[in-house]
Structure 1
Amino acid sequence: MSAHILDRPVFATLNGRQGHLAVRRGGAVRMHPDYGLFAATVDERPESLAALGDLVRELGTVGLVELATPPAPAGTEIVSSALCLQMVAETVAPAWDVAFDMLPLDDADAAEMLALATLTKPGPFFARTHQLGEFIGVRVGGQLVAMAGERMRPDGFTEASGVCVHPDHRGKGYAARLLREVTARILARGERAFLHSYADNATAIGLYESLGYRGRADVRFTILKPADQ
């Protein structure tokens, strides 16, 4: 049994508040591919791993967030297993004035959100990822140039995610201010905010710490794909 709900955030998410987004096969579960690639198993018994393999072969590549790299089920192969720092915020830095508006984003902005995420690669982002939680953004001359929002929602927590800025508009404080606002809204609901950063991204970790995030655990983000691809 995990000592903390965030030790297995995907499993907790897809067996909790976002269970309606889950596709299940025996002892395995994954987020519907329109929303994300996250997956998990009940345990590492052969039958659970076999069920995960079925999901990978049926619906494609998945990503697992666990304390250690899990074994690859038969018929799949590990593409990568990256060390990440999981960070949690129980308080947030005070707000500061900015010379731009932070606008709510919704389905009408979906195509632009996907295009921005595809360009900047803040993490896995798909056609309906923006529906996982609230997203806000910044527009310049009508163009969406920055955004941040919410992703996994295990009980008592919400993950801040999707933080990205168009390359032509970096260095203006968009990422920090948007992430600060997303974090503040999560905390205002009585939840705790969390996020993940690649462990070797010292710049990002420093930004997150300045906003109130603190390291909780090292986790592995493992990508599995069908072996024949």
Structure 2
Amino acid sequence: MTANVLAHVLDRPVVSTLTGRQKHLAVQRGGAIRMHPDFGLFAGTLDDSPESLADLGALVREMGTVGLVEPTTPSPPPGTRIVSSAPCLQMVAERVAPAWDVDFDMLPLGDADAAEMLALATLTKPGPFFSRTHQLGDFIGVRVDGQLVAMAGQRMRPDGYTEASGVCVHPDHRGKGYAARLLREVTATILATGEKAFLHSYADNATAIGLYESLGYRGRAEVMFTILAAA
């Protein structure tokens, strides 16, 4: 069995997360591991042996579609197929832009908001979001006339890092600075703990990358986000 030696915890953030601080969220089958499907679809293998790849294939067939965040696009394990594979820019922030005044309140979100959070994420598709994704970390949002119109929060937590994620704005409420200010607040909260913040953006999304850079994020590496489903 050949171990995957990581030069950095962010090289394979899913495996680093599910074998570290968030291992309580993991479902493991032999050499394969995935996040519990109520929380997310992220998965990986503990090494690059044929046995572990076979375990990943079995896990996909048992529990459904998974998403891999890896340095390269892997070969599909037995019994699976690649649905999509896209390059993403992994970005890290060690400092954040200064706060600025806004004319809206940023409110903490929790279980009572779960249905609205899932609906907003389903509409706007900021990335994989499931019934309990909001429990992965602190989320904040903006309400207009009682409706949740924007949110951002935290997701994966490899040692020393916390991922900013779930940044989305209802199409009818874009252009008001919600995404930037919410992400700035999430990032500042992470940095205040002594950790570094990181996130992922599709590599061809120049608008999003520009926003993240304006807040203090810098590109670290290109990774591949690959969706695997049962064949």
Letter in 2 for 1:56: V
1:97-148 per-residue CA deviation (whole Å, 9 max, x = no partner) reads 0000000000000000000000000000000000000000000000000000
**Cα distance, 1:42 vs. partner?**
1.0
Structure 2: gaps (5+ residues): none
1:136-194 per-residue CA deviation (whole Å, 9 max, x = no partner) reads 00000000000000000001000000000000000000000000000000000000000
Letter in 1 for 2:72: A
Residue among 197, 205, 209 paired with 2:209: 205
Question: 1:154 aligns to what?
Answer: 158
Structure 1: gaps (5+ residues): none
Give the structure-1-normalised TM-score.
0.99
- Alignment pair present for 1:88 and 2:88: no
Q: SS where residue 148 of structure 1 aligns?
A: strand
Letter in 2 for 1:188: A
Question: 1:22 aligns to what?
Answer: 26
In structure 2, distance between residues paired with 1:215 and 1:185: 20
Residues matched between the structures, number: 227
- Alignment pair present for 1:127 and 2:126: no
Q: SS where residue 117 of structure 1 aligns?
A: helix
**Cα distance, 1:75 vs. partner?**
0.4
Equivalences for residues 135-146 of structure 1 within 5 A: 135-146=139-150
**Cα distance, 1:43 vs. partner?**
1.6
Question: 1:97 aligns to what?
Answer: 101
Residue among 32, 46, 54 paired with 1:42: 46
Give the structure-2-normalised TM-score.
0.98
- Alignment pair present for 1:12 and 2:4: no
Q: SS where residue 10 of structure 2 aligns?
A: helix
- Alignment pair present for 1:106 and 2:106: no
- Alignment pair present for 1:116 and 2:120: yes
1:8-42 per-residue CA deviation (whole Å, 9 max, x = no partner) reads 00000000010000000000000000000000101
**Cα distance, 1:94 vs. partner?**
0.1
- Alignment pair present for 1:176 and 2:191: no
- Alignment pair present for 1:2 and 2:1: no
In structure 2, distance between residues paired with 1:44 and 1:212: 35
Residue among 182, 187, 193 paired with 1:189: 193
Give the RMSD, CA atoms, in angstroms.
0.4
Q: SS where residue 157 of structure 2 aligns?
A: coil
Letter in 2 for 1:91: R
1:31-78 per-residue CA deviation (whole Å, 9 max, x = no partner) reads 000000000101221100000001100000000000001111110000
In structure 2, distance between residues paired with 1:199 and 1:139: 30
Identity %: 83
**Cα distance, 1:223 vs. partner?**
0.3
In structure 2, distance between residues paired with 1:59 and 1:163: 27
**Cα distance, 1:208 vs. partner?**
0.1
Off by >6 Å, runs of 4+ in structure 1: none
